[in-house]
Structure 1
Amino acid sequence: MGLDGMEVMAVAVVICLFVVVLKQFGMWEPLSLEESCDEELELSMTRHQPEGLDHLQAQTCFTRKELQSLYRGFKNECPSGLVDEETFKMIYSQFFPQGDATTYAHYLFNAFDVDRNGSIRFEDFVMGLSVLLRGSVTDKLRWAFNLYDINNDGYITKQEMLSIITSIYDMLGRFTCPNLPQEAPVDHVDQFFQKMDRNGDGVVTIEEFIETCQKDEGIMKSMQLFDHVI
């Protein structure tokens, strides 16, 4: 797998995992009028009270009815209104039985846990989902950059990128090219930096990341894979 293949896989997996979450939560089933009213009432009664529908609709690319459906699925799985990291890991591990999704789920959880308080609120979930499924290309790339920037210092280092790519291979397990040599993740990271690190300073900035990705046809196609999932 070449550089473009690695990048496409990384971006596509990020988006695909949120589709997995949607299916796990049983979301996007049609709501009756009575159910819609019930969901709106529930938004003000859950143990963790999320932002109101009007606010979330203004902050995301979802309709009011879609938010109600999302919330119904979310509260069915998480009655407290919060998702902790162990629950998050458990959800993903069910869909990758041939691999170990623990590390990747940890990184993904941190990308959603914007407050770094150890839990994901409903509003955190829908705002991130809105970016990944309906955001602009730039918004999606910013989100992906923040995932790779593990320590949130504004730069992607080789070690950070290696950690993410390795966690993806670990998660996919034997389905990730059975004959792939052990050093493949390191080789991919080296190629990534040759392409992205334009000034050769050993780190990739968000400007370098976005500019390079936007000029890459393969990456741009991968960003559109799930535009019409919902």
Structure 2
Amino acid sequence: MAHARKEQIKLAEALQKTTQYKKHEVECLLRMFKALTHDALKMDRNLFRDVLHNQFKMTDDILMDRVFKAFDKDNDSYINQSEWVSGLSCIMRGNMEEKMKYCFDVYDLNGDGYISREEMFHMLKNSLIKQPSEEDPDEGVKDLVEITLKKMDKDHDTRLSPQDFQQAVEEEPLLLEAFGACLPSYEVVTSFNTLVSEDSDINIQLFQQQQAQNQNRQQAV
């Protein structure tokens, strides 16, 4: 037990140096992770998606899978403690540069280093409200893709590079989540950051209980 505690302190000190969190906040996040995983010290895709949906109010299935990939730096199909803290540091407290890289990685669905016209279509298809009409709804999505490309494709090669994306967002910050919500809302960020800053075991228990209640509700539906 004492050895495990020493290892946790060492990990917290290391993560403090590479994230936007103070040491006591990292320790809070590590305890939260242990509570959510029941000491398994790794989080699978389903549990991670439940946390994104229930706690961080994300709803897009495609993007939640991509957020998982963005957190899972070692590509082992699990989120470990370090990935949990580092990922949360980015989406909860990251600067604009960190968030731009994160959002681009989420939107680059096939991981080839570009956001293609096809990927834009795939992500934007659900963002348009389907109107009862004879017009092909896909045509409206295609129009939106072309408008987006015109706005963001700075080198005119019909796809977005990281440089295109960065330049477009720097000119118009609202384009950061142009292809769907992959960052938590201001309200969620404020609430979560307060919970972590206070570093209260009671708050962690409430977070865990809320997560469990939401999971039970979903299973009952």
How far off its partner does 1:127 sit?
0.9
Q: Distance in 2 between matches of 1:106 and 1:43?
A: 33
Aligned CA RMSD, in angstroms, stands at 3.7
In structure 2, stretches of 5+ residues that fail to align are 194-221
* Mapping 1:1-230, distance limit 5 Å: 41-42=4-5, 44=7, 52-78=11-37, 79-92=39-52, 94=54, 101-166=60-125, 169=127, 182-183=137-138, 184-219=140-175, 226=186, 228-229=190-191, 230=193
In structure 1, stretches of 5+ residues that fail to align are 1-37, 170-175
| Cα separation, partners in 2 of 1:218 and 1:63, compared to 1, 3 Å | same
Residue aligned with 1:83, SS: coil
Q: What is the percent sequence identity of the aligned residues?
A: 23
Contact 2:33 2:84 in 1 (8 A): no
Q: Distance in 1 between matches of 2:2 and 2:175?
A: 38
| Cα separation, partners in 2 of 1:43 and 1:163, compared to 1, 3 Å | farther
Contact 2:108 2:114 in 1 (8 A): yes
Residue aligned with 1:77, SS: helix
| Cα separation, partners in 2 of 1:53 and 1:85, compared to 1, 3 Å | same
| Cα separation, partners in 2 of 1:213 and 1:100, compared to 1, 3 Å | closer
Give the TM-score normalised by the residue count of structure 1: 0.64
Instruction: Pick the structure with greater CA Rg.
Output: 2
How far off its partner does 1:212 sit?
0.9
Q: Distance in 2 between matches of 1:69 and 1:196?
A: 39
Contact 2:48 2:68 in 1 (8 A): yes
| Cα separation, partners in 2 of 1:204 and 1:220, compared to 1, 3 Å | closer
More divergent stretch after superposition (87-96 vs 52-61) = 87-96
The residue type paired with residue 44 of structure 1 is E
How far off its partner does 1:188 sit?
3.0
The residue type paired with residue 153 of structure 2 is D
The residue type paired with residue 201 of structure 1 is D
1:132-191 Cα shifts (integer Å, max 9, x gaps): 22222111111111111122222111222233334x65xxxxxx8575984454443322
How far off its partner does 1:101 sit?
4.3
Q: Distance in 1 between matches of 2:121 and 2:51?
A: 24
Q: Is the helix fraction higher in 1 or 2?
A: 2
